[in-house]
Chain A
């Protein structure tokens, strides 16, 4: 059979009255062929996820009815009754979600959750189903499938949960797989494996894949064709090679230009006095393994770091590598078991009470999620002025400083009386940066501070951080899982794994000549790294 597998004609998803625009998705038309991977790319609010949900019949119930046509194997998915939909879902079309751990039911064993879909859509016996689940777990390369089948979701890592979700989606060998940001919550090396898994599936089963993502790096790795969406509308659609190398629409060009690349910051900047010296930091946690045995986790093991004024040190690692624990030990949110932290020549580790409060002023932190990091009932001007006030600045001076900083981070000082919800995510992160800088810290910790932002916003916030550092000459500890981001802003990078620093180098040296095998793995896993350097080696799209 030839022709398109999924054909979307004039799909519109209206928003309720009072929303900032009338349509979440407006007049969208696109097709997906068999054995094809079509990536839908867009930023927050582009409508890409709602398009996927519309196809699965999972649109939020508070939205008005979607209009248009989504044809799949001769049926219009927008028109079929619930019973027919349940007969198709999980069997002919399946979906993988962004939050793998939350997408599994916490009270059932993962093996049973995969078995459920087979039980629903086939007449296999219990033993046959068990065998099929075992085969699926093996196919998605879960370690020790026999034991993992009996595990509960909370006992697995994010990557393992996503493999379980993919196994669930593949159980009935569907013709169409919809994947909504399936690797966004995962580490880069895990992401690389999951993307490879998707390519293998397409080759072996001829599955058509609708892949929703915000990451052009991921697009470069797997897409046959690309659709770019913005504000609910299709901006541009075409073969991956053409969109990636020769985009026609201005918006696509902007998006691609904003994609963080491996672009190491050149060495040779000059730095001031030492601002941070941490020596021998050690922190051990006690947890339990999957089967109940007690286990010690060395979150940090004899870690040394140092930083000078005006310098940026990147801490790069995957989840569980200890990079956040390190930052928390530096700021004394977590008490290290051993080791010393010296900030500006003064010991930080033994301080208490007033002295600790005063010392904390010198260290400020900008968190990952700008949506939860600001008090929703506090106008942003007050949020920025609060720190200086606490540390004894007169009211008028504190307010003047807050207004200066709000202007410095690129917001209108007149908006100081507005509340956080009136700002976008990127603007809120600017407020957070202004708030951190208001107490004139000597050390700024940026903990995944740009990870939750759209790429275009991400770039702006990175530039802002560099500019502020130029102006105020603070030392910056920049924590990220994204090597591309780290490369642009860091003078030195420390790669962390299992509580240790495996390699620390000047940024350019690290990328040009990585010494540690793990650093090389991390670099190799960066999605889309070959995209600008030459032709891609990708398998053809014929099943």
Chain B
């Protein structure tokens, strides 16, 4: 048990270190942040002063070491733009994104999984084909396009939903639907194939021979066994959800960290971008850790191997 978790922990730290380093290298080698911040026509001594102030005149390696040191001790610096602590800026935006992400995720799961199960049970029938066609549509449609389409229909044409901003449940509907569509389509497809495989297993026949009613066979016997591939897909799709949030928050002017990231990158606000990258990386790592934990809960064989 401990060995298993030690390895997991070491991997987590390694992943985070890798992400943080990658972000550092890319940001420092893709243009001068001071020039981007102050504008191309800033005075040379002004630029020099700014560099010294932020330590950007130090050799890259020294900058890297002090940056890693700060990250490791939980200091994420202050914004280059308005000098507020980075974590304050991120934390004030985070709840909006979490709200949007959870809503989209719940919607995707509630639509995608039952749709996949239904398609598997009606394999080859018209319902199966209709669901699969919708699923393909769902994950083939770019979400900036879907977002704009929804705004056009519900805000401009019918005027029943607000086109941007946050605050009320009505504000949440369109961004959440837009963000959920891709994940729902993916989930429906994977749930279908996982269910199809499980439904063929001998224990499903044995359950019927015991007199277990059809709905119980599906929910209690097939679904727990199909859950492992489904959970895997959910884990992988959290990344998509974060990526999608960046686009969707921009389209709907949703005040979350996705939009913050776009703004910070365009302004080359290094400290904020690095902080955001770390927050997103931690989220992903935690999500994958939870998926690993869930495997153990779902399958006694994996639980045993982890011991």
Residue ranges of A at the interface with B (Cβ–Cβ < 8 Å): 56-58, 82-83, 85-91, 94-95, 97, 99, 102-107, 116-117, 120-121, 152, 154-155, 165, 168, 288, 292
Question: Closest CB of chain A to B290's CB: distance in Å?
Answer: 19
28 CB-based A-B contacts, threshold 8 Å: A56-B208, A56-B209, A57-B208, A82-B214, A86-B211, A86-B212, A87-B211, A88-B211, A89-B209, A89-B210, A89-B211, A94-B209, A97-B206, A97-B209, A102-B203, A103-B202, A103-B205, A105-B203, A105-B206, A106-B203, A106-B299, A106-B300, A107-B224, A107-B300, A117-B211, A155-B304, A168-B210, A288-B304
Contact (Cβ within 8 A) A107 B298: yes
A218-B299 Cα distance, complex, nearest whole Å: 37
11 additional A-B residue pairs with CB within 8 Å, beyond A97-B205, A155-B304: A57-B208, A89-B209, A89-B210, A94-B210, A97-B202, A99-B202, A120-B211, A152-B301, A154-B300, A165-B206, A292-B307
Among B298, B299, B300, B307, which residue has the most Cβ atoms of chain A within 10 A?
B300
| Beta-carbon contacts under 8 Å, B259-307 to A | 298-301, 304, 307
Known contacts A152-B300, A292-B304, A105 near B221 by CB under 8 Å: yes
A95-B304 Cα distance, complex, nearest whole Å: 30
- Cβ of B3 within 8 Å of any chain A Cβ, yes or no, is no
| Beta-carbon contacts under 8 Å, B32-79 to A | none
C-beta contact mask, B198-228 vs A, less than 8 Å → 1, else 0?
0001110111111111100000010011000
Ranked nearest first, the 10 interchain pairs of A and B with the lowest CB-CB distance are A90-B211, A89-B211, A90-B210, A95-B209, A102-B202, A103-B206, A152-B300, A117-B210, A105-B203, A103-B202
A97-B207 Cα distance, complex, nearest whole Å: 11
Q: Enumerate chain B residues within 8 angstroms of A87, measured Cβ to Cβ.
A: 211
Question: Closest CB of chain A to B127's CB: distance in Å?
Answer: 15
Contact (Cβ within 8 A) A58 B211: no
Q: Enumerate chain A residues within 8 angstroms of B214, measured Cβ to Cβ.
A: 82, 86
Contact (Cβ within 8 A) B225 A107: yes
Question: Closest CB of chain A to B80's CB: distance in Å?
Answer: 52
Q: Enumerate chain A residues within 8 angstroms of B301, measured Cβ to Cβ.
A: 106, 152, 154
Question: Closest CB of chain A to B122's CB: distance in Å?
Answer: 11
Q: Enumerate chain B residues within 8 angstroms of A116, measured Cβ to Cβ.
A: 210, 212
Q: Enumerate chain A residues within 8 angstroms of B225, measured Cβ to Cβ.
A: 105-107
**From A82, A83, A94, A103, contact of B203 by CB (8 A):** A103
Chain B residue nearest to A92 (CB atoms) is: B211
**From B205, B212, B213, contact of A58 by CB (8 A):** B205
A95-B205 Cα distance, complex, nearest whole Å: 10
Question: Closest CB of chain B to A313's CB: distance in Å?
Answer: 36
Question: Closest CB of chain A to B124's CB: distance in Å?
Answer: 9
A83-B212 Cα distance, complex, nearest whole Å: 10
Q: How many A-B residue pairs have CB under 8 A?
A: 79
A105-B223 Cα distance, complex, nearest whole Å: 11
A86-B207 Cα distance, complex, nearest whole Å: 10
Question: Closest CB of chain A to B222's CB: distance in Å?
Answer: 9
A95-B221 Cα distance, complex, nearest whole Å: 18
Give the size of the chain B interface in residues (CB under 8 angstroms): 22
A82-B214 Cα distance, complex, nearest whole Å: 9
Q: Enumerate chain B residues within 8 angstroms of A152, measured Cβ to Cβ.
A: 300-301
A102-B203 Cα distance, complex, nearest whole Å: 6
Known contacts A103-B202, A103-B203, A120 near B299 by CB under 8 Å: no
Contact (Cβ within 8 A) B213 A86: yes
Q: Enumerate chain B residues within 8 angstroms of A154, measured Cβ to Cβ.
A: 300-301
Among B203, B212, B213, which residue has the most Cβ atoms of chain A within 10 A?
B203
Question: Closest CB of chain A to B70's CB: distance in Å?
Answer: 43
Q: Enumerate chain A residues within 8 angstroms of B207, measured Cβ to Cβ.
A: 105
Known contacts A86-B212, A86-B213, A104 near B206 by CB under 8 Å: yes
Q: Enumerate chain A residues within 8 angstroms of B304, measured Cβ to Cβ.
A: 155, 288, 292
A292-B4 Cα distance, complex, nearest whole Å: 14
Q: Enumerate chain B residues within 8 angstroms of A95, measured Cβ to Cβ.
A: 206, 209
Chain B residue nearest to A86 (CB atoms) is: B211
Q: Enumerate chain A residues within 8 angstroms of B307, measured Cβ to Cβ.
A: 288, 292
Question: Closest CB of chain B to A157's CB: distance in Å?
Answer: 16
A154-B205 Cα distance, complex, nearest whole Å: 18
Q: Enumerate chain B residues within 8 angstroms of A88, measured Cβ to Cβ.
A: 211
Q: Enumerate chain A residues within 8 angstroms of B205, measured Cβ to Cβ.
A: 58, 97, 103
Known contacts A106-B300, A107-B299, A120 near B202 by CB under 8 Å: no
A99-B298 Cα distance, complex, nearest whole Å: 23
Question: Closest CB of chain A to B67's CB: distance in Å?
Answer: 44
A165-B205 Cα distance, complex, nearest whole Å: 12
A89-B205 Cα distance, complex, nearest whole Å: 11
A245-B304 Cα distance, complex, nearest whole Å: 52
Question: Closest CB of chain B to A166's CB: distance in Å?
Answer: 12
Contact (Cβ within 8 A) B201 A102: yes
A155-B300 Cα distance, complex, nearest whole Å: 10
A102-B202 Cα distance, complex, nearest whole Å: 6
Q: Enumerate chain A residues within 8 angstroms of B206, measured Cβ to Cβ.
A: 95, 97, 103-105, 165, 168
Question: Closest CB of chain A to B63's CB: distance in Å?
Answer: 49
Contact (Cβ within 8 A) A89 B298: no
Question: Closest CB of chain A to B231's CB: distance in Å?
Answer: 13
Chain A residue nearest to B1 (CB atoms) is: A292
Q: Enumerate chain A residues within 8 angstroms of B209, measured Cβ to Cβ.
A: 56, 58, 89-90, 94-95, 97
A152-B212 Cα distance, complex, nearest whole Å: 20
Q: Enumerate chain B residues within 8 angstroms of A288, measured Cβ to Cβ.
A: 304, 307
A87-B301 Cα distance, complex, nearest whole Å: 32
Chain A residue nearest to B301 (CB atoms) is: A154
Question: Closest CB of chain A to B207's CB: distance in Å?
Answer: 7
| Beta-carbon contacts under 8 Å, B222-260 to A | 224-225
